[in-house]
A and B are shown apart, each in its own frame.
Chain A
Amino acid sequence: MARRKSLSDRELTDTSFFILLSLTEPKHGYLIMQEIEKMTEGAVSIGPASLYTTIRKLSEAGLIRPAPGAETKKKTYLITTEGKNLLNEDIARRERIIRTAKDYLSEREDAE
């Protein structure tokens, strides 16, 4: 199914990436949106439907789970070990892309 595709590719969309990152500490929906806006200094905002769909997908894939304790009305989530592993993999993947780009550009500048 298409919904699983982006996760089984072991490659995170930007939305999933930021949500996983923000859930290294337990949070509920609205706080996730706020935290992402704060950490990206307003560059990234996530719409409520995108947030809801992505949380469901991450949850189904076992990358996040409902946080234990605090049985409040607001559902709180937390990243799982599997989620952390995938997040670290994706950070490394993104780093590789940036490094490649920077190396490539600086090589060209040196040659000039």
Chain B
Amino acid sequence: MKNKKYISSGGLAFEEEKDMRKLEKYAAEGWKVEGFYLLGYKLKKSEPAEKIYAIDYCNKPDEEYFSYFREGGWEYVASQSDYIHLFTAAHGTTPLYTDKATEIDKYEAEQRMTGKAALPMLIIEMLLLTGAFGDFSFIAPFMSKVFLALCFILSVPLVFTGLPWFGYTYRLFKLRHSR
């Protein structure tokens, strides 16, 4: 019988809560999270456990950071790129964020980071598009094809930063307009 399972993430920018509920469901069925894996999570067969999960972002956190979580009842599970951290706790544990101001800080940092990465790519992408549909055959007859090919290649990282930017922007909008 297989005792490892890989599940996909809906993308933390859009589906953080949904991801966490999914992990919670798996934990109850006896699959505990072992770590992040590509664009998802790696699970391992274990005893069924009533656990909740939560994500926090912190670049290269120090021991102090982890001690607060531990003392607050949150067990460390895994990190991705020493930046995204996954924690688990018993039901009813005080959540990671208990006020709106700091929760806004969390997503503002993400919005800034993805925005900073996406913007230059967006500009280059638009220039490439202009190149692809403009007439640059005086340089070489196949120039528009080159531009188009570069356009396709660049669209991959653009989507992976641009979409999360929209996700975080939407989150912040909702947070700021909620009580």
Which chain A residues have a beta carbon within 8 Å of chain B's beta carbons? Answer: 2-3, 6, 13-15, 29-30, 33, 45-54, 73-75
Contact = CB atoms under 8 A, between A and B. Distances in A.
Contacts, number: 68
Nearest to B73: A48
Interface string B96-139: 11110111111010000000000000000000000000000000
A108 B33 CA distance: 59
A110 B58 CA distance: 55
B68 interface: yes
Interface stretch (B16-24, B59-67, B145-153, B158-166): B59-67
Contact of A33 (B58, B72, B104): B72
B105 A51 contact: no
Nearest to A50: B102
B99 A51 contact: no
Contacts of A33: 71-72
Interface residues of B, number: 24
Interface of B: 56, 58, 63-65, 67-69, 71-72, 74, 94-99, 101-106, 108
Contact of B65 (A13, A52, A73): A52
Nearest to A37: B94
A3 B105 CA distance: 7
Nearest to B57: A49
Given A47-B96, A48-B74, A49-B96, A13 B101 contact: yes
B72 A53 contact: no
A15 B101 contact: yes
Top 9 closest A-B pairs, CB basis?
A48-B72, A30-B71, A49-B96, A48-B68, A47-B98, A50-B102, A53-B102, A45-B94, A48-B69
Contacts of A30: 67-68, 71-72
A6 B101 CA distance: 8
Contacts of A15: 98-99, 101-102
B69 to A, nearest CB: 4
